[in-house]
Amino acid sequence: MRVRLVDVAERAGVSEATVSRVANGKPVSDRTRALVLDAMQELGFGLVERRPESARGLVGVIVPELSNPVFAQYGQVLEGELVRHGLTPVLCTQVVGGVPEGDYVDMLVEQGAVAFVFVSGRHAVVGSDPEPYAALRRRGLPLVLVNGRHPGVDAPTFSLDDRAAVEIAVEHLAQLGHTRIGFASGSLRYTPAARRAEAFAAAVTARFPGDEPLVETIHFSAEGGATAAQQLVRRGATGIVCGSDVMALGAIGGLRRMGLRVPDDVSVVGSDDSELMRYTDPPLTTVRHDAATIAAAAVQALVDELDGRPSSRDEVLFAPDLVVRASTRVRPERVSLVG
């Protein structure tokens, strides 16, 4: 009896399209390839030689600098999850003045990469050109985007709910009696930052009608956080929401240089809940960014794409949690500026 694709698919527990991809040498996960090859051999669907799959399973993982703990966590979890699925991750980090995203992509394509995961990459820049991603899709390479949806890119996207992250931070400070709340952010050219700034303005306007939202945009760094916090306090802020934990730590240092105490004079809220934030001085109140769960979901979507099971192109948003520690407290009667 002639063995059909549907017979192999039923035996392997996959779709006919996935069997076709394996038969034609198209990328699928190593685990799925093994299932299909086993089913082919059991049913006599030709003799398929098993070749080393390390090159076939190469996945490019492109993340920003690892000096920010949340990106280090993304890199670590993405690597582990990809290996668990029989894929070989290649972690590439972007730093200011370093290798650009496009050069990493070209290098990995030459090495036979079968898929890519982009974390807070060019896709997260407002108005960026989607063509480099479209070129990868035309090659048949699956992509997954993390943190920042780009409407012109054909890929599943997984992000923290940035608007909700800011809203719960503002609400926390408002419940503590703060009526002048500031927002310290990196550049608004990045989609997550732009979303947060928009949400911050809406939350403050809803809570305190008629008040001008206090926003300082600079770069995502400790130095940027220090400068932004100092400017916000001079504008009257007694509570500050920061775009990252790194910025929040910088803000605390900058406020101390002004002779102010956190939280006695000014309350500070971070964002990410990096592992060490409970041990800072003071332990940091922050909005938890569950990078591990987001990364695991992104890898599962990529594996599904490789196995011929396309994922939804709607952006999946993950809810944040507020982690209250000692960097926030009830609003002081007044703040006396020394520096």
Q: Quick one: pLDDT at residue 52?
A: 40
The whole-angstrom separation of Cα 166 and Cα 289 is: 12
Give the residue from 318, 288, 217 showing the smallest Cα distance to 69. Answer: 288
Q: Which two tokens stand for residue 77?
A: 């979890």
The whole-angstrom separation of Cα 39 and Cα 19 is: 10
The whole-angstrom separation of Cα 120 and Cα 99 is: 15
pLDDT value at 53 more than 50: no
Domain pair 58-160+290-318 / 162-289, same fold? yes
Listed by start position, the domains of the chain span 5-43, 58-160+290-318, 162-289
Q: What is the DSSP letter of 272?
A: E
Give the residue from 295, 291, 319 showing the smallest Cα distance to 163. Answer: 319
Q: Name the amino acid, one letter, at 97.
A: G
**pLDDT per residue as tens digits for the range 276-291:** 999 999 999 999 999 9
Which CATH class for the 58-160+290-318 domain? alpha beta
* Domain 162-289, CATH among 3.90.960.10, 3.40.640.10, 3.40.50.10190, 3.40.50.2300: 3.40.50.2300
Q: Quick one: pLDDT at residue 337?
A: 59
**pLDDT per residue as tens digits for the range 106-119:** 999 998 899 999 99
**pLDDT band for position 55 (cuts 50, 70, 90):** very low
**pLDDT per residue as tens digits for the range 161-184:** 999 999 999 999 999 999 999 999
**pLDDT band for position 8 (cuts 50, 70, 90):** confident
Angle between helices 191-207 and 162-175 (to 10 degrees): 30
121 Ramachandran zone, left/alpha/beta (phi>0; psi -120 to 50): beta
